[in-house]
Structure 1
Amino acid sequence: MITPELIGFAGILLLLILLAVGIPIGIGLALVGGVGLTLLLSPEAALIKAGVITFDTISRYELGVLPLFVLMAHLCFAAGASRDFFDAAARFVGHRRGGLAMASIGGCAGFGAISGSSLATVATITSVALPEMRKANYAPSFATGALAAGGTLGSLIPPSGALIVFGIIAEQSIGKLFAAAVIPGLTQALFYLVAIAILCRLNPLLGPPTTRAPWRERWPALRSIADVGLLIIFVIGGLFVGWFTPTEAASVGSVAALLLCWRRGRLNWRAVSDALQTTLRTTGMIYIVIIGALLFATFISVTGIAALLSNLVAGLDSGPTVAIIAMALVLLLLGSFLDGLALMLLTTPIFLPITLDLGLSPIWFGIFLVRTMEIGFVHPPLGLNVYVIQGIAGDIPLGTIFRGIVPFLLADFLHLALLIAVPALSLWLPGVIA
């Protein structure tokens, strides 16, 4: 007998096959969700549900936060802020062993606070930092490993595009998700810095020190990031303390980024036109993905898979920690061949209800999910960040980059274990500013 649960598991398998053969994720989610609802309900009900979801998604006020933050990021790119964070960090720590790798982590953290994207962060910082590290005779595996790992910070540090999408799908406060990501993002960067320091202590040849920059060069470098830093602090800080709603914060950030372009002498029709076109393309793609994800989530809800798995977990009587570790293992396995957004949209409808039944915070789950998703950006065989770096530095083999990733993967696993063991790392700040 064909049960709804069986149809649900068949739908998940079909979605994985579609993604494996290269079907765009939004189309795959919508197709599986629509066909599944047609089988479980009726063609008319599935068509009506798809129409309602599409209209509700496009007309949601809070979804305006997404294109506005994307526009803010691209206006900051146009203002020439791409290399400033790395340059400033390199002036202060480049003379230490592994200092340029540490500066890359700092550059990724700063640029991630503008871009909200792992792939954009790793592409931008690699194009700036890798030539400098090569000039300083850094080991290729060490340099590229640090860049690939540091690039993942763009997915977690606010304003994170992944957290915005999760907040919309899971119907959670985007402001609280941003606040919850601050401490995990900072500690993640700290874990990478410690890993670099340990590696260079064990083998100083990995990252030789460079010439110490005099203070007359350090202060101008620091001033070069002051305006962008103030923009980030004003927008994200204003959101945290309640001056703005998320959509208002994104609006203020877009206007401030436009003023930043003007102040730096980069404001012209070409820059604004390119930023608007890129924003529209990116937003259109993400809207299709969100609509498809909501349709797929409705299908999963109707099948009863989430309830079935939740009852299975409860029947094991093994406690929340074991259930979360099992989820992490599944996410890491799926992350071997799915990109981060696909992983999030596939698993949220299944794992979020289980998390709620275990009495865990959905805000914490969002941070846990994005953090686990980030690891998929660097571990083989997919490792999208690795392929981005290899595309920029074509003479460095993929195997070399993946070898360089290993120590940073260990830091990732330790940091993920810390987030699971100490949920307060994610929940303390949202509780303070609530």
Structure 2
Amino acid sequence: MIPELIGLAGIALLLVLLTFGVPIGVSLALVGIGGLALLISPEAALIKSGVVSFETISKYELGVLPLFLLMAHICFAAGASRDFFDVAAKFVGHRRGGLALASIGGCAGFGAISGSSLATVATISSVALPEMRKAGYHPGFAAGALAAGGTLGSLIPPSGALIVFGIIAEQSIGKLFAAAIIPGLSQALFYMIAIAILCAVKPALGPSAQRVPWRDRLPALRKIIDILLLIVFVIGGLMVGWFTPTEAASVGVVAALLLWTLRGGFNRAAFGEALRATLRTTGMIYVVIIGAILFATFISVTGITDVLSGAVTDFHASPIVAIIVMALVLLLLGSFLDGLALMLLTTPIFLPIAVDLGFSPIWFGIFLVRTMEIGFVHPPLGLNVYVIQAMAKDIPLGTIFRGIIPFLVADFLHLGLIIAVPALTLWLPQVTGA
């Protein structure tokens, strides 16, 4: 049997399994082991699965994932999500669309703690959506801003998606975090510009609220200084080389526990729940990573990436055109795959091709996560949209998806900027030496 055809059949089978709701980790592992059994031997496939499983759960670098997750849960228990939105609302809430701007700021701030798009949109929406509706904001506009803002959690460090990419692509997590800072901040800026333009054209979308005096703004700002210092210390220390990623996450957990205690909200029950939530998520991600490595091994054995890379070379397409085609494929697959499934399916295939075309693996990781984020808001899947609709059942899905359209335009413009100007991603890792 031709290995390349087996590889294509394996990819098709994986898509079928995911479509029928088989968990992504299980799907990846089944296809990977089955493909290796066909190409090499059943005994070799079983031995490889055992070796990969043991190496994954014993890998020191992978400890960064549960530690950053625990830090996020502790900060959430300490009230960080409401504090970020409250501060932003007090500073810009009096402007047209000010609460929507505050939502983007809140999502960016909480994204720097949570590392998850779904966690960010669920947490900030629970605080911001009732406030925007009370202020008379158009429901679709409010929900669209929150759904788009929630995607910031996947890119702004410490990003869970970038950690997983760094592990399966064997790239420096510190460099990925440094590379994500400028794209993450500029992404938030693009959303804010979209909100400002929309509210200038149609003020009824986001009415201005009452101005909060400065004497009330500064006390609110003091409420998030401790969280901001925690973020700067952990991520900054990682970027300048004070800590390895695992050490940075460990320091972050200890500092978050200290912060929670100083805020006076620490209790054993909440801490136990934070530990349980961390273990549940970590266990799921470990299974996914093991499956992804097995699937990547299968794909590499088939030689399908060499065939595709050769096809791109023979076609004489420019690297930019090839990357745009990859982006279109990723957006198409993002219509029915969740972000993690999309990343783990495409990384073993597209990363070698991108490297052969001269692109940095670090840049590709940011490009992949940025493209993956768009899948969180564009139809028909749009997981962020369904999270918001579950919280506000009276807002129809169609209304939310229409509210997303201006932010999708901002997304495509921002993705185009990342493709056209790679230095936007690569400058900071070079300067900091992360």
TM-score when normalising by structure 2: 0.99
Q: Distance in 1 between matches of 2:392 and 2:125?
A: 9
- Please name the residue that 2:25 is paired with: 26
Q: Distance in 1 between matches of 2:352 and 2:51?
A: 23
* Corresponding residue of 1:345: 344
Q: How does 1:191-210 map to 2 (within 5 A)?
A: 191-210=190-209
Runs of 4 or more off by more than 6 Å in structure 1?
none
Post-superposition shift, 1:16?
0.5
Q: Which residue of 2 aligns with 1:263?
A: 262
Counterpart position of 2:279: 280
Q: Distance in 2 between matches of 1:418 and 1:275?
A: 38
1:57-206 correspondence to structure 2 within 5 Å: 57-206=56-205
CA distance in structure 1 between the partners assigned to 2:174 and 2:372 by the alignment: 20
Q: What CA distance in whole angstroms lies between the structure 2 residues aligned with 1:294 and 1:318?
A: 30
- Match of residue 254 from structure 1: 253
Note the C-alpha offset of 1:122.
0.2
My pick for the range that moved more, 289-298 or 49-58, is 49-58
Task: Quote the residue 2:36 is aligned against.
Answer: 37
Instruction: Name the CA distance, whole Å, in 2 between partners of 1:347 and 1:31.
Output: 17
Structure 1 SS opposite 2:79: coil
* In structure 2, C-alpha distance between the alignment counterparts of 1:10 and 1:217, rounded to whole Å: 62
How far apart, CA to CA, are the structure 2 residues paired with 1:272 and 1:133?
Answer: 31
Shift of 1:77: 1.1
2:295: which partner in 1? 296
Moved more, 42-51 or 76-85: 76-85
Query: 1:124, CA displacement in angstroms?
Result: 0.4
State the distance in 2 between where 1:149 and 1:281 align: 26
Shift of 1:81: 1.2
| 2:308 is aligned with 1:312 | no
The alignment partner of 1:243 has SS state of coil
| 1:380 alignment counterpart | 379
Paired letter, 1:106: G
State how far apart, in whole Å, the 2-side matches of 1:420 and 1:79 are.
Answer: 38
* Counterpart check, 1:411 vs 2:410: yes
Q: Which amino acid aligns with 2:38?
A: L
Give the C-alpha shift of residue 388 in structure 1: 0.1
Shift of 1:345: 0.1
Shift of 1:185: 0.2
Shift of 1:261: 1.1
**C-alpha distance in structure 2 between counterparts of 1:40 and 1:266, whole Å:** 56
**How many Å apart are 1:318 and its aligned residue?**
1.4
One-letter amino acid matched to 2:142: A
| Superposition deviation, residue 260 in structure 1 | 1.1
Q: Secondary structure at the match of 1:225?
A: helix
Q: Which residue of 1 aligns with 2:8?
A: 9
The 2-side partners of 1:273 and 1:93 are apart by: 37
The 2-side partners of 1:182 and 1:295 are apart by: 31
What's 1:46 paired with?
45
Match of 1:211 in 2: 210
Aligned to 2:401: 402
Deviation string for 1:383-421 (max 9, x for gaps)? 000000000001000000000000000000000000000
Instruction: String of CA shifts for 1:308-357, please: whole Å, max 9, x gaps.
Output: 10000011111100100000000000000000000000000000000111
TM-score, normalisation: structure 1? 0.99
> 1:314-333, aligned counterparts within 5 Å?
314-333=313-332
Which has the higher mean CA deviation after the structures are superposed, 103-112 or 261-270?
A: 261-270
Q: Residue 233 of structure 2 corresponds to which residue in structure 1? A: 234
Q: Secondary structure at the match of 2:81?
A: coil
Which secondary structure does the structure 1 equivalent of 2:358 belong to? Answer: coil
Question: In 1, distance between residues paired with 2:315 and 2:107?
Answer: 41
How many angstroms apart in 2 are the aligned matches of 1:269 and 1:99? Answer: 38
Name the amino acid aligned to 2:315.
L
User: In structure 2, what is the Cα distance between the partners aligned to 1:374 and 1:93?
Assistant: 26
Shift of 1:216: 1.7
> For the residues of structure 2 that align with 1:305 and 1:127, how far apart are their CA atoms?
45
- Aligned-partner Cα distance in 2 for 1:77–1:406: 30
Q: How much has 1:38 moved relative to structure 2?
A: 0.5
Q: Distance in 2 between matches of 1:123 and 1:78?
A: 14
Letter in 1 for 2:109: G
Q: Which amino acid aligns with 2:206?
A: G
Per-residue deviation, 1:272 = 1.3
Q: Quote the offset at 1:271 in angstroms.
A: 1.5
Partner Cα separation in structure 2 for residue 124 and residue 277 of structure 1: 18
2 CA distance for matches of 1:184 and 1:81?
A: 23
For structure 1, which runs of at least 5 residues remain unmatched after alignment? none
Q: How far did residue 221 of structure 1 move?
A: 1.0
Distance of 2:8 and 2:192 partners within structure 1? 42
Letter aligned with residue 363 of structure 2: W
Does the residue aligned with 1:82 lie in a helix, a strand or coil? helix
- Shift in Å at residue 215 of structure 1? 1.1
Residues matched between the structures, number: 433
Aligned-pair CA distance for 1:178: 0.1
Superimposed CA distance per residue, residues 233-270 of structure 1 (whole angstroms, 9 cap, x where no aligned partner): 10001111111010000000000011111011111111
Question: 1:82 Cα deviation (Å)?
Answer: 1.7
**Residue 69 of structure 1 aligns to which amino acid in structure 2?**
F
Listed as ranges, the gaps of 5+ residues in structure 2 are: none
| One-letter amino acid of the counterpart of residue 369, structure 1 | L
